[in-house]
Amino acid sequence: MSYRKQFIVKPGEKVNLHKIDPSFKDKHESHEKALPKIVEHIGRMDKLQYLLYADGNHSLLVVLQALDAAGKDGVIRHLFSGMNPQGTSVFGFKQPSNDEIAHDFLWRAHLRSPSKGETVIFNRSHYEDVLVVRVHKLIEKSEWSTHYQLINDFESMLSYNGTRILKFFLHISQEEQLSRFKQRLEDPARNWKISYSDYSERKLWPDYIEAYEDALEHTSTQHAPWYIIPANHKWFRDLAISEIIADTLEDMGLKLPSPHVDLDEIRNNYHAAEFEQAKQNNKKS
């Protein structure tokens, strides 16, 4: 079964994250064994992103959400490294700035949404407005629960306008999170990544899981589905996400646009004349 079918949250389906094994790795034994497939998917993604850009009628929005240290940065580094920077961008959602707070919560997401031909990755997203704000009681329940419908309407509008939306929840266990914090403490190259808030947020784990389950349930739609990705094994996470993105782009039936000039005319008149001229110039020099 394709990972698109296996990990999708079907619209209206109840989500119980405790029942989903974050260490799942399918039939693959190791990173080494899975690597050729990952490389193949990344190659397909690169080719298809080129077509998306050339075609210029559609766009792709990838949303990455997860608890701390689940690997959002790793996905971006590994999977999008080969894509042409022209036509690809990443936007990280931090605590909203004064300007952002002065607008509706979807404003900053809309502002960064991809234009036609573009691929945009959201590292965290407008979903923080049904997650962190709920867990930290920054706004009332009546408010955050209204956000689900507003998000669905917003994403439906983007989709109507030609944007394919893929949303990934990276699912790790609490044990795995702690071991990644330890790596951040021990590895000097990763020291900068650890923060006090990683530990205080960790204490709120059950609240976050509940908030995620509700968000996944309320906002997985046909035009903007959620996928729950087992992410304890970094390589399996990359394998599943790259397959889902490549398969989705493939289904879009992207084509190179036809040239908007008469190629024969250019060949026979313009190019032939330039070629002749260059030959003459060469002879002279």
Task: Work out how close the CB of 68 gets to Mg ion at its nearest, in angstroms, rounded to a whole number.
Answer: 5
**Cα separation, 192 vs 102, whole angstroms:** 31
Between 68 and 118, CB nearer to Mg ion:
68
Q: Which residue is nearest to Mg ion (CB)?
A: 68
Ranges within 240-279 binding ligand ATP (CB under 6 A) = none
Ranges within 181-220 binding ligand ATP (CB under 6 A) = 193
Between 97 and 258, CB nearer to Mg ion:
97
Ranges within 82-141 binding ligand ATP (CB under 6 A) = 93-96, 124, 128-129, 132-133
Question: Sign of the C-alpha dihedral, residues 186, 190, 192, 196?
Answer: negative
Q: Which residue is nearest to ligand ATP (CB)?
A: 128
**Cα separation, 265 vs 272, whole angstroms:** 10
Task: Work out how close the CB of 285 gets to ligand ATP at its nearest, in angstroms, rounded to a whole number.
Answer: 59
C-beta of residue 49 within 8 angstroms of C-beta of residue 246? no
Task: Work out how close the CB of 91 gets to ligand ATP at its nearest, in angstroms, rounded to a whole number.
Answer: 12
Between 74 and 162, CB nearer to ligand ATP:
74
Between 68 and 176, CB nearer to Mg ion:
68
Between 53 and 226, CB nearer to ligand ATP:
226
Between 71 and 114, CB nearer to ligand ATP:
71
- Contacting ligand ATP (CB under 6 A), which of 68, 118, 155, 213? 68
Q: Which positions ≥6 away from 118 have C-beta within 8 Å?
A: 53, 59, 60, 87, 88, 89
How far is the CA of 188 from the CAs of 184, 185, 191, 195, in angstroms?
A: 8, 7, 5, 14
C-beta of residue 229 within 8 angstroms of C-beta of residue 237? yes
C-beta of residue 252 within 8 angstroms of C-beta of residue 60? no
Between 118 and 201, CB nearer to ligand ATP:
201
**Cα separation, 20 vs 4, whole angstroms:** 16
Q: Which positions ≥6 away from 174 have C-beta within 8 Å?
A: 202, 205
Between 66 and 249, CB nearer to ligand ATP:
66
Task: Work out how close the CB of 69 gets to Mg ion at its nearest, in angstroms, rounded to a whole number.
Answer: 8
Task: Work out how close the CB of 176 gets to ligand ATP at its nearest, in angstroms, rounded to a whole number.
Answer: 13
Task: Work out how close the CB of 191 gets to Mg ion at its nearest, in angstroms, rounded to a whole number.
Answer: 14
8 Rama sector, left if φ>0, alpha if ψ -120 to 50, beta otherwise: beta
Buried b (16+ CB within 10 A) or exposed e, 70-82: bbbebbbebbbee
- Contacting ligand ATP (CB under 6 A), which of 62, 69, 120, 241? 69
Binding to Mg ion by CB under 5 A, coded x per residue (else -) over 62-81, reads: ------x-------------
Which residue in 149, 169, 154, 160 sits closest to 59, CA to CA?
Answer: 160
Which residue in 117, 280, 95 sits closest to 197, CA to CA?
Answer: 95
Query: Binding-site residue total for ligand ATP (CB under 6 A)?
Result: 14
Residues in contact with Mg ion by CB under 5 A are 68
Residues in contact with ligand ATP by CB under 6 A are 68-69, 72-73, 93-96, 124, 128-129, 132-133, 193
